[in-house]
């Protein structure tokens, strides 16, 4: 096949679409910004792409709850298309607001969960958390996006990032990322876990590993010079987040 085609979904209030598109382009993909209404009106076809991304932002002003309005559109107007997309073996990535939307639409932790048993809500700190955090990859996870990665250092920027989970809602394989401290301790709490997220979970995937979402922003650390201490530590060619995009593109090349 030719270059991997990536659809970057936009909606009113999306504000990380350009950075996410750039990250996929740097990883070798062909990326397009597509408004949700273009999919609803069938001006664009989800089936024409191998990767779908729901990027960060504050879609529809996060009215009602973060990502909820977009989640309703995804579930009610595009649910069959998204289900078919996943069943065809393709990839979905949700970042921050995208995480919130995919969970509230019922596409995570498993596709079309008839009775969602988890959500994302207000941070325990009661404030918007905007800073850099350490992350550890959960090795038993089948997540396509985190293969070959041990640790990550990425920024967060959210007010409703606390994952709340009913007992049994997440399996061992659903957990993809943990918040950690500088030494990699996954039991460290606030401020290392910026939201109070259950079990220090920062990202989850479905059982196939092909639908993945996280609260931190990998698209904001794809170059070494985006690290906040690069002038003191020295700049690497790539930032920690870049491998997530490269993994997706390399995997999708086989579709």
123, 160 contact by CB (below 8 A):
yes
Query: How many angstroms separate the CA atoms of 67 and 61, rounded?
Result: 9
Residues 6+ apart with CB under 8 A from 64: none
Q: What is the pLDDT of residues 20-36, one digit of tens each?
A: 999 999 999 999 999 99
96: annotated active-site residue: yes
30: annotated active-site residue: no
Catalytic residue, from 16, 96, 143, 205: name it: 96
Question: Is residue 45 scored above 70 in pLDDT?
Answer: yes
For position 117, what pLDDT does the model report? 85
For position 50, what pLDDT does the model report? 98
Question: Is residue 1 scored above 60 in pLDDT?
Answer: no
DSSP 3-state of 102? helix
Question: Is residue 115 scored above 80 in pLDDT?
Answer: no
Q: What is the pLDDT of residues 190-244, one digit of tens each?
A: 999 999 999 999 999 999 999 999 999 999 999 999 999 999 999 899 999 999 9
217: annotated active-site residue: yes
Give residue 81's domain range. 5-252
211, 82 contact by CB (below 8 A):
no
Return the higher-pLDDT residue of 84 and 1: 84
DSSP 3-state of 129? strand
- In this prediction the pTM is 0.96
167 confidence band (pLDDT: 50, 70, 90): confident
Catalytic residue, from 138, 158, 192, 217: name it: 217
210, 144 contact by CB (below 8 A):
yes
Number of domains in the chain: 1
Catalytic residue, from 73, 129, 160, 219: name it: 219
The owner of tokens 């990839």 is 91
CATH number at residue 36: 3.40.50.880
Mean of pLDDT over the chain: 96
């Amino acid at each position: 096949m030719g270059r991997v085609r990536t659809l970057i979904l936009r909606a009113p209030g999306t504000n990380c679409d350009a950075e996410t598109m750039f990250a996929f382009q740097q990883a070798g993909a062909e990326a397009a910004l597509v408004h949700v209404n273009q999919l609803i009106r069938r001006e664009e076809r989800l089936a024409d792409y191998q990767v779908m991304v729901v990027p960060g932002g504050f879609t529809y002003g996060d009215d009602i709850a973060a990502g909820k309005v977009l989640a309703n559109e995804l579930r009610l107007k595009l649910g069959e298309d998204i289900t078919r997309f996943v069943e065809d073996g393709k990839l979905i990535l949700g970042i921050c607001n995208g995480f919130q939307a995919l969970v509230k639409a019922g596409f995570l932790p498993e596709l079309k969960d008839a009775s969602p048993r988890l959500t994302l809500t207000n941070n325990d700190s009661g404030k918007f958390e905007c800073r850099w955090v350490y992350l550890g990859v959960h090795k038993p996870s089948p997540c396509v996006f985190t293969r070959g990665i041990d640790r990550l250092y990425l920024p967060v920027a959210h007010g409703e990032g606390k994952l709340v989970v009913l007992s049994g809602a997440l399996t061992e394989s659903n957990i993809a990322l943990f918040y950690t401290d500088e030494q990699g301790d996954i039991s460290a709490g606030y401020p290392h876990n910026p939201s109070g997220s259950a079990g220090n979970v920062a990202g989850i995937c479905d059982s196939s590993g092909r639908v993945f979402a996280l609260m931190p922003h990998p698209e904001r650390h794809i170059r070494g010079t985006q690290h906040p201490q690069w002038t003191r530590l020295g700049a690497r060619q790539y930032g920690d987040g870049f491998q997530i995009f490269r993994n997706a593109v390399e995997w999708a090349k086989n579709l």
